[in-house]
Amino acid sequence: MNKPLRIILPILVLAGIGGGAWWYLHRPPANDALALYGNVDFRQASLAFNGSERIAGVLVEEGDIVKKGQVLARLDISRLAPQVRQADATVAAQRAMVMKLRNGSRPEEIAQARANLASAKADAANANVQFERRAALTATNTISKQDLDTAKAAAGVADAKVEVAQSALDLAIAGPRAEELLQAEAQLRANEAQLALIRQELDDAELVAPFDAVIRSRLMEPGEMAAPTKPVFSLATIGTKWVRAYVSETNLGHVRSGMRANVTTDSFPDRPLDGWIGFISPVAEFTPKTVETTDLRTSLVYEVRVFVEDPDDMLRLGMPASVMLLPDEAPKALPQNADAKAKS
């Protein structure tokens, strides 16, 4: 009996140790702290030029820290600059035309039209006198019928010239038609819009940083042809960082927005960072395969984003991190629209 007992006792001891270990690893979290596991995440952006042209210069390298509004790259503008000058000249010419129509006829033009009318009237009076004289001589057969017809035609032409001169004077006094002015103004607006478009294309020849960031990848080089669908840089923000973690459905009731947390990484286990929960997903999902938790992978979990204060820039994109929630700490006051920003 001693021999079987010596065999069974170690087995029972090992089973007890294994059961205790399993319970320790799978025990429910204590009420005073809840541990989560995830990876560091940043906001990222891919930057591309808004036009299609050859790249003239790339001004930053991978790993550089850039400020909002800083020029990162430039396109060749040898064809855009002349287009801007041409459009600018077209706008200036059309603007002068509009001013001319608005001001109407000059006093000198009206005076000239009056003088032309007076000259036409004098010529008409002389032509009519000549015709009357020839008509009087016709009775005595002094001139031929052909001379009379010629004098009559000349008088008619002179009278028509008077009407033309009178119409020209009336037009000079009245000025341009309202429709002509409206047409010229519409053409001016079209030319100004075209100029603004070309100037915007010229401004878009410089690729600027939309926010303070770190250059993650430099994807194109000088001499390559840029396009709106071809990113030149990949950026990561340096201000906003968070740990994307997952909490099980059974522990969801212990988590709330603004809850304080300590965040540690394997690289700096003795330097915890302050954090707080900024976003809790309203939709359950199956645990992603890359997430390591003590729950079964088939369990439903909720995504949680724990924002981190990282003044020393210790965190890197994708770095594994452990989050220890501190329910006894006072919640952090969330900024306005924090949830909306966290979802982006």
Structure-token match 């009056």, residue found: 114
pLDDT of residue 333: 61
Evaluate if pTM is beyond 0.85.
no
Q: How far from each other are the two terminal CA atoms of the chain, in whole angstroms?
A: 70
Side chain identity, residue 87: A
d(CA 124, CA 157): 8
pLDDT of residue 343: 46
Tell me the per-residue pLDDT of 273-282, one tens digit each, with 9 for 90 and over.
889 898 888 8
- Alpha carbon of residue 78 to chain centroid: 24
For each of the chain's 344 residues, which pLDDT tens digit applies?
455 656 666 676 667 776 665 555 555 544 456 888 999 988 889 999 998 999 999 999 998 989 999 999 999 999 999 999 999 999 999 999 888 887 776 777 777 877 887 888 888 888 888 777 777 777 666 677 777 778 778 888 888 888 888 887 777 776 677 788 888 999 999 999 999 999 999 999 999 999 888 898 999 999 999 999 999 999 988 777 889 998 887 888 888 888 899 898 888 888 888 898 988 888 777 655 555 555 454 567 888 899 988 877 788 888 899 999 887 665 666 554 444 444 44
Indicate the fold that domain 29-42+239-343 takes in CATH: Elongation Factor Tu (Ef-tu); domain 3 (2.40.30)
The full length of the chain comes to 344
Tokens of 263: 């965040």
Tell me the per-residue pLDDT of 60-83, one tens digit each, with 9 for 90 and over.
999 898 999 999 999 999 999 999
pLDDT of residue 205: 94
pLDDT of residue 31: 47
d(CA 121, CA 286): 101
Cα–Cα–Cα angle for 134, 140, 146, rounded to 5 degrees: 45
The CATH number of the domain covering residues in 83-199: 1.10.287.470
**Contacts by 124-129, CB closer than 8 A, 24 or more apart:** 124/155, 124/158, 124/159, 124/161, 124/162, 126/158, 127/151, 127/154, 127/155, 127/157, 127/158, 127/159, 128/155, 128/158, 128/159
pLDDT of residue 167: 80
pLDDT of residue 338: 44
**CA neighbor of 325 nearest in space, from 261, 253, 247:** 261
Mean residue pLDDT across the chain: 81
Tell me the per-residue pLDDT of 282-297, one tens digit each, with 9 for 90 and over.
877 765 555 555 545 4
Per-domain residue ranges of the chain: 29-42+239-343, 83-199
Q: Are strands 273-280 and 300-308 parallel, antiparallel or unpaired?
A: antiparallel
Structure-token match 């042209």, residue found: 53
pLDDT of residue 224: 94
